[in-house]
Structure 1
Amino acid sequence: MTSGSAQPPARGPIDGERLAEATALTPDLTFELLPEAPSTNQIAADRARSGAHEGLVVVADHQVAGRGRLDRVWTTPPGTAVTFSLLLRPTVAPAAWPWLPLLVGHNVAKALIAQGYDASVKWPNDVLLGDRKVAGILVERVETSTGPAAIVGVGLNVGLREDELPVPTATSLAIAGSTDPDRTQVLVDVVTAVREGYDVWQAGGEQGTARLAASYRANCATIGREVRVELPGGGELLGTATDIDADGRLVVETSDGAERVGAGDVIHVRATSA
């Protein structure tokens, strides 16, 4: 177990040659590696508007002005995180688009599980190790001349020490694991998992969404928890998170009955008990 007093993991740059090898093995992905960038989502959105193909992955070795949901700031020390944005051009029905952020969080968690981590998803798409957040996701819709595109931004804490964490509720792979993680390998594994999960979902139609929903529910840490859902304008819901409905909304059983909330309608979902 890596502790806050341990030596920091190696913080060399992401290996561009290995990314090129990954591109050769998975031609539906193309990596664009930048030494430093303000926001990979912004760059990927510009690429989408300029006609870039689905599967472009904009990677920042160091991101200096990352954004999370509701324009929250996301920054990390150099060499400690995996930050990328994947350009997708979904052809699923518009009603299925709200599942995309959940799909991404779910498949990031699956990639970490495959690497030996005890990962789960906090609705809608925060990735947890135990009860602490290791990755955040921001999915943005961009209008382009060839139709709407989705920019999937992922920020994953890899090599941060305890004393470098932005908040006590965060964690990193280095803290949770027994060895120093390889940022390049983590990047390739996570991107590949997201793309594969997306392709299966796209090809499956309504049944694909139903299978995604079942798999997501099985690994959602929010279901079964007592929660406080903070709403825009200062309102809140208190109750038990009981399900994720067919549209990807969180179902909360309150004293007044079941309430359904979408990811775009909430500010925070917080557990009120362990």
Structure 2
Amino acid sequence: MIRTVAETGSTNADLLAALRAGERAPEGTWLVADRQTSGRGRQARAWSDGAGNFMGSTVVRPGPHDPPPATLALLAGLALYETVSPLISDPRSLSLKWPNDLLLGRAKLAGILLEGQGDAVVVGIGVNLASAPAVEGRETAALSALGPAPDRDAFAARLADHFDRELERWRAVGVEPLLRRWQAAAHPRGTVLSVHEPSGALVSGLFDGLAPDGSMLLRLEDGSRRAIHVGDVSLA
């Protein structure tokens, strides 16, 4: 079910508040806003909205036998990738960047934010369909640069469908196929990356795939591999 509102602070915040209030938001519920006044990205960054862009959130209720909830960011990324690929003439220009970005060339086209509440996870997704917000220090892109902007409501329906399919696969066959498919859609192994860790440290190395838990593996200069569980990743 997709519910649309004209304006709200944040679709993630709305669903989190509903869950805290004891509302039974079933899995598969989507809340989509025409405008957001307090949109957020990872690490508390503000994320500007834009008329005609997609701004929405959904609820997932991981079970005790499901893969790790953290891998839902990778699942959402794949759902986004599969939704956007048919809309552009050269899908090779699309790539996933760990843990939560979809890139067009080197520019950010879409982002994902996961937040937990009780036994539920709210997955927020923002996609630049019509316009690209200005983000300090980051290149951004919109699909409208390649042709007419996709219709927001049609895009929402396709994304919800792809997300449901990926969720079924995640539960049915586990995380290994998800990791393989995510890596096939990501920038290639050997890509030079820099990671700003929560401590403030900067780590640079070569992308070396994903670990079984979904963390990113970085090949360091001395040849060792380091698992990155949290961090802000940029292409060098």
Q: How many residues align?
A: 229
The code of the aligned residue for 1:158 comes to L
Compared with structure 1, are the counterparts of its residues 180 and 100 closer, same or farther at alpha carbon in structure 2 (3 Å cutoff)?
closer
Cα separation, 2, equivalents of 1:180 and 1:82 = 11
Distance between the aligned counterparts of 2:45 and 2:189, measured in 1? 25
Q: Please report how far the alpha carbon of residue 94 of structure 1 lies from its aligned counterpart in structure 2 after TM superposition.
A: 6.8
Cα shift at 1:92: 5.1
Match of 2:208 among 234, 242, 250: 242
Report deviation, 1:54: 1.0
Q: Aligned partners of 1:123 and 1:170: how far apart in 2?
A: 16
Which of 44, 54, 68 is equivalent to 1:96? 68
Q: Deviations over 1:188-229 (max 9, x none)?
A: 11121112111221122xxx3111111011011263211111
1:255 CA drift (Å) = 2.3
- Aligned residue number for residue 252 of structure 1: 218
Match of 1:150 in 2: 121
1:207-257 residue CA offsets vs partner (Å, 9 max, x unmatched): x31111110110112632111111122212121111111111111111241
Matched residue SS, 2:13: helix
Structure 1 residue 82 corresponds to structure 2 residue 65: no
Query: What is the TM-score normalised by the length of structure 2?
Result: 0.90
List alignment gaps of at least 5 residues for structure 1.
Answer: 1-29
TM-score by length of 1: 0.78
SS in 2 for 1:203: helix
Equivalent residue number for residue 63 of structure 1: 36
CA distance in 2: counterparts of 1:56 and 1:222, whole angstroms: 34
CA distance in 2, matches of 1:120, 1:157: 15
Residues 180/51 of structure 1: CA separation in 2 closer, same or farther (3 Å cut):
closer
Where do residues 112-191 of structure 1 align in structure 2 (5 Å cutoff)?
112-116=84-88, 118=91, 119-143=94-118, 148-160=119-131, 165-166=134-135, 169-175=139-145, 177-191=146-160
Structure 2, unaligned runs of 5 or more: none
Kindly state the Cα deviation for residue 108 of structure 1 after the two structures are TM-superposed.
Answer: 0.4
CA contact (8 A) 1:96 1:247 kept: yes
Contact persistence 1:92–1:202 (CA under 8 A): no
Cα RMSD over matched residues? 1.8
